[in-house]
Structure 1
């Protein structure tokens, strides 16, 4: 099969699970004998742009005509079987879909977040779940400056969502949701359910698994509010005040809260901040963990670090909402805490470290779950199935949904998160 991958790479200065997924899928396909090429832009290149080009960039976020022309010419010249679209912000734009239509090549799109229904893609505002724009116009996002705390920065995303809604829904043969939780939100927003398939991300064999009880608890990811970093610090302080849990907390990653984390960890024996780890260091750190901690306050669409822990035979403590509810078997492969509740998180961290035998049972159960649902073999089979469905035109998507204003407004902002988490 001949596949063209379309992706706007996120900045290399901060870890990107999405970049990792794109690269791993391309490598998986090539290893299986398929021809994979890439049409990409890099956010790293923005820094080298001239001032006029930078000033014009927001105007191209909703629609970049030069990208449409360039991609259409390439598709006509090389005729791939399918185009696989990932991120198009900020340098590609949904014009890539018009290029696919121009050349008559079917498009598949992986939805890594919620940008189809929420301008910043997080379904969160002011540290709380928010679905005010889901199924409605994105004006609330502009009013609140939901992207980077800026109304001006949010406008291009809101405009793109509004003017390109129909193009996405009619121009993509198969949408690949990375969790059932994500698909549920998108269906409620009015996206065509027949085109929304659930295809979990896979994780390569790590090459190393946990031996023994583990040495530390591990947070591995972006140091940002939405990832629950402040929540984790508060829970750890509660545990430390009560005598600790007998193992240190290791935090690895970088992001906007790096200085705050560095200052918090300084001079402590029970916390170690390791900075940004490379791939080998990440695999080693996970395999030496008592548990991996994923306390996100936003409803994660997937949770790559959870599956990486499973692959290494390590349990997870995660927030009980979003995709984590389907990834983590509460009491079986890990523990779920009440989202945003530091006391609940502290309790789960205490429980996961208190019983080494039960902890190792959870790790073994997680490894079996990985082999059955998240291994490269499973990932390849499901990916190729979706490509074949798109090529054959078997989407079953039905009619394009009516414009906003002729459909329901979707869930309210105060829609409660899913229940089912542990104490």
Structure 2
């Protein structure tokens, strides 16, 4: 089987989980015997483009002529079975879908964000969730609020691009939704359910989990939508040292909040940005991983890393987080009222849960507010050991590369037939 993987890489100065996932997926496909033809562009190329190409940059999200010519040559020469598209902006453009179809090549797209509708791709503006452009033929609110790169002109271009390519997106043969929440987003956009496959990303197996550590780890980009402020507000509602240690890893515009918390409390440590060895050590030292996003986070890779390491997760009930921790399916209620009870794990017995805290297979989800997070922190600390083994099992069954790569190849094979 021969697959073209098309992706516009994000700038290396802004570390992108999407770039990492695409690289890993290409490696996993090749290891499984699939012939991969990378069709990759990088936003880092933009400064070195010739003047004529730079002159066309403003329209490239709508139509990128150079990319279409090069893709046509690649398809003509190699006759791939499927084109798999990830991010098309700005140097590829969604027009690559039309180019592939012109050559009778079916198209799969992995949906990493909400950019079919939202110019920023986040459904998040001015510190709160925003879906003002849903259902609109043209995303005028995005232009008014300068949602794309803080520029009204660039926001107008992106909103126009989304309007022009609505039909393009509806022509995609198969969408890969990373979680059930992304599947809901696509159905709301008008994509038929039979053209949507829920297939999460996978990460390499780190091996047998280390014994459970102590306390909590928050590891994310330190930006408003990732919820560091929410977590610290919740943490301060407990006496210093009562929950064990809180380790904060990452970098970004809210770094000062992490540094201030570490200076203020003995139970908070700011680790800064970590390399892979540092990430591994931080996870091993902890008992619970926190994902406190205040936007509809599509698929925080840190959660999959936690499950692979046998660490349960405490997260907000937004985006793909409930799916990742196995809390998106309805559970049989075990009680009523503010102290409802849920089963912790097979054979473990019952754990009382505060109002607003929901337990999944491998962790807990709460509303994105400090009071709910504060109520869940001691529950997670007490229940971590019971959910450690289920966390690792969910990784093996759902997020292991062998599992997700087989599912992806099955999608290709069905379209190729």
TM-score (norm 1): 0.85
What does residue 342 of structure 1 align with?
Answer: 370
Distance 1:52 1:277, change over 3 A: farther
Distance 1:318 1:246, change over 3 A: closer
What does residue 210 of structure 1 align with?
Answer: 210
Matches within 5 A, 1:314-393: 314-328=311-325, 329=327, 330-331=358-359, 332-339=361-368, 341-353=369-381, 355=382, 358-392=383-417
Tell whether the 8 Å contact from 1:14 to 1:254 is kept in structure 2 after alignment.
no
Tell whether the 8 Å contact from 2:110 to 2:178 is kept in structure 1 after alignment.
yes
Q: Per-residue deviation at 1:64?
A: 0.7
Q: Per-residue deviation at 1:256?
A: 3.1
Q: Per-residue deviation at 1:367?
A: 1.2
CA–CA distance in structure 2, aligned partners of residues 371 and 144 of structure 1 = 43
Q: Per-residue deviation at 1:116?
A: 1.0
CA–CA distance in structure 2, aligned partners of residues 199 and 107 of structure 1 = 16
Is 1:68 the counterpart of 2:65? The answer is no
State the Cα deviation string for residues 227-279 of structure 1 (Å, max 9, x = none).
1122122222333xx33434322222223333453455346533222232223
Q: Which has the higher contact order (CA 8 A, sep 6+)?
A: 1
Aligned counterpart in structure 2 of residue 253 of structure 1, from 243, 250, 254: 250
Instruction: Give the 3-state SS of the residue equivalent to 1:302 in structure 2.
Output: coil
Is 1:272 the counterpart of 2:230? The answer is no
CA–CA distance in structure 2, aligned partners of residues 317 and 298 of structure 1 = 15
What does residue 133 of structure 1 align with?
Answer: 133
CA–CA distance in structure 2, aligned partners of residues 18 and 266 of structure 1 = 33
Distance 1:374 1:85, change over 3 A: same
Distance 1:151 1:260, change over 3 A: farther
Is 1:284 the counterpart of 2:284? The answer is no
State the Cα deviation string for residues 156-189 of structure 1 (Å, max 9, x = none).
221111001101211x211111111111122122
Instruction: Give the 3-state SS of the residue equivalent to 1:156 in structure 2.
Output: helix
Tell whether the 8 Å contact from 2:214 to 2:244 is kept in structure 1 after alignment.
yes
CA–CA distance in structure 1, aligned partners of residues 288 and 5 of structure 2 = 34
Distance 1:238 1:167, change over 3 A: same
Larger mean Cα displacement after TM superposition, 193-202 or 65-74:
193-202
CA–CA distance in structure 2, aligned partners of residues 264 and 49 of structure 1 = 44
Tell whether the 8 Å contact from 2:241 to 2:266 is kept in structure 1 after alignment.
no
CA–CA distance in structure 2, aligned partners of residues 236 and 55 of structure 1 = 51
Instruction: Give the 3-state SS of the residue equivalent to 1:238 in structure 2.
Output: coil
Q: Per-residue deviation at 1:39?
A: 1.0
Q: Per-residue deviation at 1:373?
A: 1.5
What does residue 418 of structure 1 align with?
Answer: none
Distance 1:136 1:230, change over 3 A: same
What does residue 147 of structure 2 align with?
Answer: 146
Tell whether the 8 Å contact from 1:250 to 1:272 is kept in structure 2 after alignment.
yes
CA–CA distance in structure 1, aligned partners of residues 402 and 297 of structure 2 = 24
State the Cα deviation string for residues 67-91 of structure 1 (Å, max 9, x = none).
1111111111112221110011122
State the Cα deviation string for residues 374-405 of structure 1 (Å, max 9, x = none).
2122102210111112222xxxxxxxxxxxxx
CA–CA distance in structure 2, aligned partners of residues 388 and 224 of structure 1 = 40
What does residue 222 of structure 1 align with?
Answer: 221
Q: Per-residue deviation at 1:281?
A: 2.4
Q: Per-residue deviation at 1:120?
A: 1.1
Q: Per-residue deviation at 1:14?
A: 3.2
Distance 1:167 1:275, change over 3 A: same
TM-score (norm 2): 0.86
**How many residues are treated as equivalent by the alignment?**
384
Tell whether the 8 Å contact from 2:229 to 2:257 is kept in structure 1 after alignment.
no
